[in-house]
Amino acid sequence: MSIKLVAIDIDGTLVNNNREITPEVFEAIQKAKAAGVKIVIATGRPLLGVKNILESLNLLDAGDYVITYNGALVQATATGEAFIDEPLTYDDYLDIEMESRRLKTPLHSITMSTIYTHNRNISKYSINEAYITGLPLKYRTAEEMAKHEIIKMMYIDEPEKLDETITKLPQRFKERYTIVKSTPFYLEILNKNASKGLAVQHLAEKLGISHEETMAIGDEENDRSMLEAVGNPVVMANGNPELKKIAKYITKSNEASGVAHAINEWVL
């Protein structure tokens, strides 16, 4: 059965180590789109943070979709309209914010348009997130956050300190939220109904695409849910060894245009 939807992670997957899309990857994606395959970028970033990538790949047409905020939103790329929207509640915010104080771990929260921090001494990792996503960074107290719809929250710290924080998280956190370590210094906390995997499943259902007709390409642990959700999971050669255990296919590395190889070999 032919592949009709391909969900693709960005860092370590779509782009090389210089964060560039190689000509080979560009060409393969254009051929797949021309053949009617839905190419869906799946990222932890907001739409604004990937608009340049979508534009460069000609993925801003009517009928194109993007998975943002690690699955909390699925949006039409042309309009930004959300097809899936799974935000956190203000009660969630207070719960997560209180734990950040108890664990002495910096935190920031992200809405559709802004990154907010309650830390007066703003973390360099919040500044880094603002730079990567293109979103403004603002200080707000917990009380002031009641009026904002929060898409996701992130515990941020030096890698060894963040790992220590993870070991101290209460069990109820694992039951109440989706928790994803997206980089050594970012721990993302989302609505329990939000994940790349659920987003891919729901989008495929909306488009009338069967499980066997779906593919996902990724490299790291934050891609696990979407790799497990599709009929054809593909892991990069540079990917996490644990992820390779669940892969149907292993493609070339991101430096060797592995996304192009996967599309050419198993889609086209």
Residues of the chain with CATH 3.40.50.1000: 5-85+194-267
| Distance from C-alpha of 189 to C-alpha of 140, rounded to nearest angstrom | 19
pLDDT by position in tens, the chain (length 268)? 699 999 999 999 999 999 999 999 999 999 999 999 999 999 999 999 999 999 999 999 999 999 999 999 999 999 999 988 999 999 999 999 999 999 999 999 999 999 999 999 999 999 999 998 999 999 999 999 999 999 999 999 999 999 999 999 999 998 999 999 988 999 999 999 999 999 999 999 999 999 999 999 999 988 999 999 999 999 999 999 999 999 999 999 999 999 999 999 999 9
Please tell me the predicted confidence (pLDDT) of residue 226.
97
User: Residue 5: phi, psi to the nearest 5?
Assistant: -140, 130
Q: Give the per-residue pLDDT at 182.
A: 87
Terminal-to-terminal C-alpha distance of the chain: 12
pLDDT at 83: 86
For residue 67, the model assigns a pLDDT of 97
Q: What is the CATH topology of the domain spanning 5-85+194-267?
A: Rossmann fold (3.40.50)
pTM above 0.85, yes or no: yes
Q: How many CB atoms lie within 10 A of CB 254?
A: 27
pLDDT at 1: 62
Q: What is residue 225's three-state secondary structure?
A: helix
DSSP assignments along 112-170, one per residue: SS-EEE--SS--HHHHHHHHHH---EEE--TGGGGGS-B-EEEEE--HHHHHHHHHHS-
Q: Which CATH architecture has domain 90-190?
A: 2-Layer Sandwich (3.30)
pLDDT by residue (tens digit) across 52-87? 999 999 999 999 999 999 999 999 999 999 988 999
Cα–Cα nearest to 6, from 37, 27, 30: 37
Q: Which tens digits make up the pLDDT trace of 129-161?
A: 999 899 999 999 999 999 999 999 999 999 999
Domain with CATH 3.30.1240.10 in the chain: 90-190
Residues serving a catalytic function are 9
